Structure 1
Amino acid sequence: MPELITGLPLHPLIVHFVVVLLPIASLGAILTAVWPAVRRRFGWLTVAAAAVATALVPVATTSGENLETGLGGGNPLIDRHQELADIMIWWALGLTVSVAALMIVHTMSERQTRTPAAPEIDDGGGSVATETMTATKRSTGLTVALVVAMLATVGLSIGTGIHIYRVGDAGARTVWQDVGENLK
């Protein structure tokens, strides 16, 4: 993996993708969990956003380790940032799995509640048979699974949002600590 892109360290470039995409995925996951209309329209997009953000987390941590090596170790602020960043993958992965599970259960539930009825009989006059949809009752198992997936998604979304803030705050303090002291 390259350490520099057009003369800039790769780490801050990749980190900004993660810092923007993970909170968007977290907010989208909460909305997907609690609002059925959002779930139907944007649920799979939320899964994709969470998956891309999760895939970028290891890139960000690896590029951060490369940057630390280039700068020389021994800074306790960098060490704290790195400790928090190493945990980020688990939060991101949990969010991705929970929102994906929510969407799988939702899709199964939607398919079960909308079953096609028998087509109308062609009377020989050239009319085309059409299918109508009839609503059926959702099974208790799918309802329980949907509620559990919704709760897990909301909990992991909140946890992911809090943790990405903690990682970002530790990183910002590492970079900007001296600047703030010099402005006083």
Structure 2
Amino acid sequence: MFDTFFGLPLHPLVVHATEVIVPLAAVLVILTAAWPRFRRWAGYLTLGICLLALALVPLSTQSGEKLEARVGENALIETHAELADGLLPWVGGLVLIAAALLWWNIREKRAQAAAVRAPDSAVAPRPEVKGRMRWIPATLLVLALVVSGGTTVQAILIGHSGATAVWSGDMEN
């Protein structure tokens, strides 16, 4: 199933989409965490791109395993495969952070709408409650920076090891 597409190996096709979408998801998570205006504008976009990345990673690894079976194993391909196996947890972390950021965005919008409708009501956020919740966006920003950085580094290492495996001449065995 994950072997070829119109006679071409599927892995090079899928992996290029993965190598674009995964870093894009990482950048969107950072922007969403760091910039409230972007967070309000983006809405579900960041989570959607992260979910797309989460779907592409297993497609890339499974198609890579099929290609590995076709061309044979060597040390460079093994290194590439081992690095690729470590990407899914990082992208899973991006999805979790994007979901938390979306939750925070929806919560902020509801609080603002309630404050506009009834500024003195019990529904509007009280200043002491708002102050207690200030740690949430800061924590999400730190998590976004760490997980996005780790995801991007992992994706670069995977891409570099894959390119090295392809262009080193060892695949001609």
TM-score band by shorter chain is 0.7 to 0.9
Equivalent residue letter for 2:31: L
Partner of 1:126: none
Contact 2:33 2:137 in 1 (8 A): no
Q: Which is richer in helix?
A: 2
> Residues 176 and 43 of structure 1: is their aligned pair in 2 closer, same or farther, counting only changes over 3 Å?
farther
* Larger RCO, structures 1/2 (Cα 8 Å, 6+ apart): 2
CA–CA separation in structure 1 for the residues paired with 2:111 and 2:63: 46
Q: Give 1:146-165 correspondences, 5 Å limit.
A: 146-165=137-156
User: Bigger shift: 15-24 or 149-158?
Assistant: 149-158
Equivalent residue letter for 2:146: G
CA–CA separation in structure 2 for the residues paired with 1:89 and 1:171: 17
Deviation, structure 1 residue 2? 3.9
Contact 2:47 2:99 in 1 (8 A): yes
CA–CA separation in structure 2 for the residues paired with 1:14 and 1:162: 19
1:139 paired with 2:130, answer yes
Structure 2, unmatched stretches of 5+, are 119-123
Partner of 2:39: 39
CA–CA separation in structure 1 for the residues paired with 2:26 and 2:37: 17
1:171 to 138, 156, 162: 162
Partner of 2:102: 103
Deviation, structure 1 residue 141? 4.2
> Residues 155 and 34 of structure 1: is their aligned pair in 2 closer, same or farther, counting only changes over 3 Å?
same
Partner of 1:57: 57
Structure 1, unmatched stretches of 5+, are 119-133, 180-184
Task: Determine what percentage of the aligned residue pairs are the same residue.
Answer: 37
> Residues 152 and 96 of structure 1: is their aligned pair in 2 closer, same or farther, counting only changes over 3 Å?
same
Contact 2:2 2:66 in 1 (8 A): no
Equivalent residue letter for 1:67: L
Deviation, structure 1 residue 25? 1.0
Larger radius of gyration: 1
CA–CA separation in structure 2 for the residues paired with 1:106 and 1:150: 13
Deviation, structure 1 residue 80? 0.3
Equivalent residue letter for 2:142: L
Contact 1:9 1:67 in 2 (8 A): yes
CA–CA separation in structure 2 for the residues paired with 1:12 and 1:62: 12
Q: Give 1:4-153 correspondences, 5 Å limit.
A: 4-73=4-73, 75-115=74-114, 116-117=116-117, 137=127, 139-153=130-144
Aligned residues: 163
TM-score, normalised with respect to structure 2: 0.86
